[in-house]
């Protein structure tokens, strides 16, 4: 899997996207306890468009509804994923270069970002907003 188009084809064959637009795929995963988790898969271009990257991210919750310090300390213990704040919403995010990307280098981070975001949302927000 070496390009964004290859990844889009792979994701389309394995998952049902709830939204697809240029450079972005939105997925919703059904999880135990009647929970679900939104995940975005983004194409990111670096070095003036010459270096293609993949970014996986999933929202945790609105930052004003949680103890941000406690969330960041928990994220700091995770191997996969970092925290990002956009428009007042905290996300778990992981990125990797597309060149020579192996399928397990996509699948495992996808699962870890999804489960980590759900765990953090459950623990620090209490509900299932995303």
Here the CATH number for the domain that contains residue 71 is 3.30.1460.10
Give the whole-angstrom CA distance, residue 41 versus residue 25: 5
For residue 31, the enclosing domain spans: 4-124
Tell me what pLDDT residue 129 has: 74
Cβ neighbour number for residue 108 with a 10 Å cutoff: 13
Residue 89 resides in a domain: yes
Tens-level pLDDT at each residue, the chain (130 residues): 578 998 999 999 999 999 999 999 999 999 888 899 999 999 999 888 788 999 999 999 999 989 999 999 999 999 888 999 999 999 999 999 998 888 889 999 999 999 999 999 999 998 777 6
Residue 13 resides in a domain: yes
E strands, the chain, in order? 17-21, 24-31, 35-46, 51-62, 82-86, 89-97
Residue 31 resides in a domain: yes
Overall domain count for the chain: 1
Tell me what pLDDT residue 1 has: 59
Residue 104 resides in a domain: yes
């Amino acid at each position: 899997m070496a390009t964004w188009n290859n990844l889009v084809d792979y994701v389309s064959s394995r998952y049902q996207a709830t939204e697809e637009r240029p450079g972005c795929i939105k997925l919703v995963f059904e999880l135990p306890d009647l929970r679900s988790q939104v995940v975005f898969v983004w194409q990111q271009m670096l070095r003036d468009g010459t270096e293609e990257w993949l970014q996986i991210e999933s929202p945790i919750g609105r930052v004003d509804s949680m103890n941000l310090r406690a969330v960041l300390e928990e994220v700091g213990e995770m191997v996969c994923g970092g925290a990002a704040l956009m428009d007042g919403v905290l996300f778990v995010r992981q990125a990797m270069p597309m060149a020579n990307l192996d399928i397990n280098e996509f699948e495992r981070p996808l699962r870890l970002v999804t489960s980590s975001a759900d765990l953090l949302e459950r623990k620090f927000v209490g509900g299932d907003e995303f």
